[in-house]
Amino acid sequence: MKYIRLGRTGLKASRLGAGCWGIGGPFLNLGLAGGWDGVKEKEAKDAWM
């Protein structure tokens, strides 16, 4: 696995990402709604298989 450094933080992250934002469910960030609503648990799990 290859890693990159995140800016000047010194943190490392893999170059490969799963892109799971769409199955994460609704959330609030700084008071604003984000995420997707109505994703069934089975559908979210099936997306990983």
Q: Which one-letter DSSP state was computed for residue 28?
A: E
Return d(Cα 4, Cα 33) in angstroms, integer.
Answer: 30
pLDDT of residue 23: 73
Q: Is the pTM above the cut of 0.85?
A: no
pLDDT digits (tens, 9 = 90+) for 1-49: 889 998 999 899 888 877 776 677 788 889 988 877 777 888 878 877 7
3 close to 14: Cβ distance less than 8 angstroms: yes
pLDDT of residue 5: 92
Domain edges within the chain: 19-49
pLDDT of residue 9: 92
